[in-house]
Chains A and B, each alone.
Chain A
Amino acid sequence: QSVLTQPPSASGTPGQRVTISCSGSSSNIGSNTVNWYQQLPGTAPKLLIYSDNQRPSGVPDRFSGSKSGTSASLAISGLQSEDEADYYCAAWDDSLNGPVFGGGTKLTVL
């Protein structure tokens, strides 16, 4: 069982906006920033959003992140077929001295 809680699946049609939630506690999301990772099938995870809402160079602005208290969200607007992937949230945990992950959300583009 993962420390952070994400829905196991999400879906949308091309062009739609979808959101993925991530819930944690005071020792992780409540006191540290949240990062999001995209994992395409058969590949390593890729940093998608860092520090709650920042995009690394090269990540389209269709991807955005937000955080409130001990919860965070990833939003994907203008959904595209190539967005079909697994998405993971993560945050540093002060009690573990390391990062904790959500269980991952499998996004399907219908």
Chain B
Amino acid sequence: ELQLVESGGGLIQPGGSLRLSCAASGFTVSSNYMSWVRQAPGKGLEWVSVIYRGGSTYYADSVKGRFTISRDNSKNTLYLQMNSLRAEDTAVYYCARSALLDVWGQGTTVTVSS
């Protein structure tokens, strides 16, 4: 079964840092495009970042310079390092597989608040 499981969310103060993890099973992370997508409370889906099979990375303008996407092939896990967090980063963060976004995790909630 293809599965993604996110973890690492929580309550963090503005300016703080958090690292999200996305553990994959049933397929190989490094063989796929892997994305992070977020959804603010009551809002729509917003693409955050993608890592290509070859390792190239791209970011939405709203997080560029603050967030870093990476993967650990030995652990078959995707990461999102989030620095300088702002209130507007509050959202459920999902990881998703491939350019089709055909497999999604259940999401992990990040709340940025003092």
Contacts and interface: CB of A to CB of B under 8 A. Distances in A.
A76 to B, nearest CB: 19
B101 A44 contact: no
A96 B44 contact: no
Interface residues of B, number: 21
Interface stretch (B7-15, B22-30, B45-53, B83-91): B45-53
A21 to B, nearest CB: 15
Contacts of A79: none
Interface residues of A, number: 24
Interface string A30-54: 0000010101000011110011000
A104 B47 contact: no
Contacts of B50: 97-99
Interface in B53-96: 56, 58-60, 94
B106 interface: yes
Nearest to B49: A98
Contact of A99 (B56, B101, B105): B101
26 contacts: A35-B100, A35-B101, A37-B101, A44-B94, A44-B104, A44-B106, A45-B94, A45-B104, A46-B104, A47-B102, A50-B102, A51-B100, A56-B102, A86-B44, A92-B99, A96-B60, A97-B50, A97-B56, A97-B58, A99-B37, A99-B50, A99-B99, A101-B37, A101-B44, A101-B46, A104-B45
